[in-house]
Structure 1
Amino acid sequence: MNGSSAERLRRLRWALTALFTAVNALGLIAFAWFMISEDADQGTERINADLLRVTSSVSRLVGYDAAIDLSLVNTDVLNEQCPQFAILPGGAAGFQPHLSRRTCVPVDAQVLDGLATDAVRGGTVVTGYQRGSGGELVQVRAEPLLSRTGKPFAAVIAVEDTAAVSAEHTRYMLLVIGSCALLVTALGFAAHVLSGRSIRPAASALQQQEVLLAETAHDLRTPVAALRALAETAMLDPAQRTDLLPRTVRLAARMGGIIDDLLVRARLAAGVEQLSIQPVWLDQLVAGVVEDTEPDGAQVTVTTAPTKVNADPALVQRAVGNLLNNALRYGRQPGAPAIVHVMVAGGTVTVADHGPGIDTTLTEDAFDRFASTGGSSGLGLSIVRWVAEAHGGTLSVYNADEGGAIFELRFPLSTS
């Protein structure tokens, strides 16, 4: 392939990969941010729910009738659990502060007094974050206690350490980030594969175009050189023009056939050649091709049996004509006329010659372009195989024991 064209396709593939990956990465980042934010909010809500449970429960246990009664609070299981709580006057009528027996996280008394004072003075619930004695981040809730007249007389302050929830949130965040990174990597790989598949038709078309150009140059080089030689000879020796003119015409016709074959192959490869499939009497079609072909001194025998196939008549005529022309041109021994046998039976066209045969070193991978020991470029045979495959048939080639090449072109039989 052309270096610059191939490089452009490679850059296009990487650009498609980058675009696909970037778009999906942005989507995953937005999704990850949403999930992480939701988890953080849920952690805060869980702590708020625990603090609300403690402050509301303790508020119902506190008795107030001219004096504060904490007897029910002292016997409740909340005294032994986390979150910890405290009942403080907060600047109201003095009484002995109450602290739950279990200290889950140490908090300075001044911090608790300040929260209680804010709740009592404002008559509202105070929530937020504070620092514990050891620098721990704690979440607090201060709920005022109201007398029967609706006047705040104390406050219940619940405190819970956020370390456990923060650690759980960190693990969740790392899991989400790691999963997103893994997904982005997988999506990048998938994008690279998909972009490769998406540009494969363009790469294949480019390769076919350049192969076609190379084959055109290869196949036309020899006849063009011969045509030039004939023209130069005719110019230098006018006496030979009468003999050289028929050879020139035949050579020009050969070049036209090469160009036609190249165009057919290009159209088949590009998928623009529309097959006109219909029932065809293969024996009659082959007999007509043989009759219309100039033998040029060769011995051609035809043996046919009635056989009907489903095929495109025009393409089948070209394929059979290519097989016959190849046999006539290369199926001969030096100094002897070509001997060609054509047989039709059971949906198969067999063309056998008495030439040097096909190079046995050719592999199946080289089947697209034959090369005979007689010097054939093999483009016509390549067209034959394209036609066979387009019809769901096959083209086989092998050498006969007594010498010469045998080609078998098979088509699906018609059931109508």
Structure 2
Amino acid sequence: MSERTMKHSSRSAADRSRRLRWWPTALFTAINTIGLSVLGWLLIDQDAQRREERLDAELLRVTSVVLRLVQYDGTLNTTFVNRDEINTQCPQFAILPGEAARFSGHVSQRTCVPVDPATLAGLAELGVRSGYRLHSYERGTGDELVRVGVEPFRSTDGQFIGAIVAVADATGQEDGHDRMILLVIGGVVLLAAAGGLAGHLLSGRVTRPVVAALEQQEVLLADTAHDLRTPVAGLRALAETAQANPDQHADLMARAVDLAARMGTIIDGLLMRARLAAGVEQLAIQPVWLDQLVTTVVEETPTGDAQVTVTVAATKVNADPGLVQRAVGNLLDNALRHGRRPDAPAVVHITVAGGRVMVADHGPGIDASVARESFDRFSSSGGSSGLGLSIVRWVAQAHGGTLRVYNAEEGGAIFELVLPAAES
């Protein structure tokens, strides 16, 4: 198997689900960007048209006024044009002949933006030939952008003989349009980024339940495999021993039954945890006398040659009695198994008071490096698999409580389960 395949197979389903959120994020961002880009293009195009219409309206005002003032009776009469204030204002204009007419043209007194006369003459001839009002963008002698409006006019016999050419400086409009383009592009980029972030957050919220469910499944499978490994190996060793020593069948069978019972308890606890985590079952929270519950658990647990003492004070908590009973049983079972010195019976002391259950043993204690880690899974120097304690911690968290573990000064480990107290 290649290194790439090994890395791919090592990824958990939860990790792959987390990566899947990037696909809807990318899709949402792409769609959002395309939509915003189209909208931005429409805004830019509309702005260009509006600015162009504003210039054309100003040019039309000039050519219309001049057209009413100019007179032609074989010669061009600009007397009224010279007297009107439009002759000294911007936009500037020129009255120019077409190809068929021969008269001296007229140029307004004020030059707002310099334009090559040949360019204006060519536009005038084009307007006369077409007979329609024309508009176009041209460049001034200083490379300025100008907007030109051409209004052809007729002689008394109805022939187009000349045109009024008005010129407006379009530099300001061009600069304003460029700023509009930059503003729209910046807005599209910001909105696309914000949309991508929102899509990422939303996709994360959508996939979070799936990822959580997969993580719970993976933890459940890992816990099951971890804790069943030891009893399964024990059963196999017992079977091989029984096969090799038929005279020991009776003793080996009893030990096999104990291992099978332990495996059943492990599986029941994990299934209960999985059903509660999946929401199939709900916590049956009710007021519970914690001291009575712990005493009952101790009385019903076979302790063998171990020495177990219980000190209780009346205390009531809000809890699911079945789960708390299992958690206390796991703490007691852990202490009985691992809370002993070599070749000595276990010594366990349980204290119940103030919504707390403290289980202290005289074993080798908890490894300091493990105690500093998360309590998802505990290990003791006595060789505990730790799954039972992991379930205890989970029960504590499900009730809004805590589970603490530390070593006593005189030796041994102390596990402290704290549950929310009930109102009196």
TM range (shorter): 0.7 to 0.9
Deviations 1:337-367 (A, max 9, x none): 2121222211111111111111122244431
State how 1:55-66 maps to structure 2 within 5 Å: 55-59=63-67, 61-62=69-70
Q: CA RMSD in A?
A: 3.4
1:308 partnered with 2:316: yes
1:221 to 207, 229, 241: 229
Tell me the distance in 1 between the aligned counterparts of 2:229 and 2:61: 95
Q: Distance in 2 between matches of 1:47 and 1:364?
A: 77
1:345 aligns with 2:353: yes
User: Which residue of 162, 166, 171 corresponds with 1:158?
Assistant: 166
Q: Distance in 1 between matches of 2:104 and 2:369?
A: 107
Which moved further from structure 2: 127-136 or 229-238?
127-136
Deviations 1:240-272 (A, max 9, x none): 223223222211111111222322343454454
Say which of 134, 152, 164 aligns to 1:127.
134
Contact 1:368 1:382 in 2 (8 A): yes
Q: Secondary structure at the match of 1:396?
A: strand
Higher mean C-alpha deviation, range 100-109 or range 55-64:
55-64
Shift of 1:273: 4.1
Aligned to 2:128: 117
The residue that corresponds to 1:106 in the other structure is: 116
Contact 1:21 1:191 in 2 (8 A): yes
Structure 1 residue 372: Cα displacement: 0.8
Q: Is the 8 A contact 1:328 1:338 kept in 2?
A: yes
- Show the counterpart of 1:358: 366
Cα distance, 1:357–1:113 mapped onto 2, change above 3 Å: closer
On the 8 A contact 1:298/1:328 being kept in 2, the answer is: yes
Aligned residue identity for 1:409: L
Percent identity of equivalent pairs: 61
Partner residue in 2 for 1:333: 341
Mark the CA change 1:364 to 1:196 in structure 2 (over 3 Å): closer, same or farther.
farther
Amino acid at match of 1:126: R
- C-alpha separation in 1, matches of 2:396 and 2:124: 96
Asked if structure 1 preserves the Cα contact closer than 8 Å seen for 2:286 and 2:320, the reply is yes
Q: Which residue of 1 aligns with 2:292?
A: 284
Say which SS state the counterpart of residue 362 (structure 1) adopts: helix
| Higher mean C-alpha displacement, 240-249 vs 66-75 | 66-75
> Offset of 1:307 from its aligned partner?
1.5
Closer/same/farther in 2, CA of residues 107 and 260 from structure 1, 3 Å limit: farther
Give distance in 1, aligned partners of 2:302 and 2:348: 13
CA distance in 1, matches of 2:215, 2:167: 74
Equivalent pair of 1:84/1:158 in contact (CA under 8 Å): yes
2:423 maps to: 415
Query: Do the aligned partners of 1:81 and 1:102 also contact (CA within 8 Å) in 2?
Result: yes
Q: 1: distance between equivalents of 2:405 and 2:15?
A: 38
Aligned mates of 1:71, 1:353 — CA distance in 2: 120
Change (3 A) 1:37 1:116: closer
Contact 2:137–2:148 (8 Å) recurs in 1? yes
| Whole-angstrom CA distance in 2 between matches of 1:409 and 1:186 | 46
- Per-residue deviation, residues 358-380 of structure 1 (Å, max 9, x unmatched): 11222444311000111101111
Conserved in 2, the CA contact under 8 Å of 1:348 and 1:408?
yes
Aligned residues of 1:356 and 1:405 also touching (Cα < 8 A): yes
CA 1:241–1:133 in 2, change beyond 3 Å: closer, same or farther?
Answer: closer
Query: By how many angstroms is 1:393 displaced?
Result: 0.7
Contact 1:115–1:126 (8 Å) recurs in 2: no
2: distance between equivalents of 1:336 and 1:118? Answer: 120
In the alignment, what sits opposite 1:255?
263
Moved more, 257-266 or 303-312: 257-266
Task: State the secondary structure of the residue aligned to 2:192.
Answer: helix
1:36 CA displacement: 0.8
What pairs with 1:389-400 in structure 2 (closer than 5 Å)?
A: 389-400=397-408
Alignment partner of 1:39 is 2:86: no
In the superposition, the TM-score normalised over structure 2's length comes to: 0.84
User: Is contact 1:83-1:159 (8 Å) kept?
Assistant: yes
Give the stretch that moved more between structures: 267-276 or 48-57: 267-276
Q: Evaluate the alpha carbon distance shift between residue 7 and residue 343 of structure 1 in structure 2; reply closer, same or farther with a 3 A threshold.
A: closer
Q: Measure how far apart 1:61 and its partner are.
A: 4.9
Decide whether aligned partners of structure 1 residues 310 and 115 sit closer, same or farther in structure 2, where only a CA change above 3 A counts. Answer: same
Distance in 2 (alpha carbons) for counterparts of 1:107 and 1:131 = 12
Question: Which deviates further from its counterpart, 126-135 or 224-233?
Answer: 126-135
- SS of residue in 2 equivalent to 1:361: helix
Structure 1 contact 24–187 (Cα < 8 Å) conserved: yes
Report matched runs for 1:364-403 at 5 Å.
364-403=372-411
Structure 1 contact 268–386 (Cα < 8 Å) conserved = no
How far has the Cα of 1:183 moved from its partner? 4.0
Deviation at 1:65, TM superposition (A): 10
Matching of residue 275 in structure 1 with residue 292 in structure 2: no
SS of 1:367's equivalent? coil
- Structure 2: gaps of 5 or more residues: 1-8
1:89 and 1:116 in contact (8 A); partners too: no
- Taking the aligned partners of 2:117 and 2:283, their CA distance within structure 1 comes to 88
Aligned length: 412
Give the corresponding residue for 2:241: 233
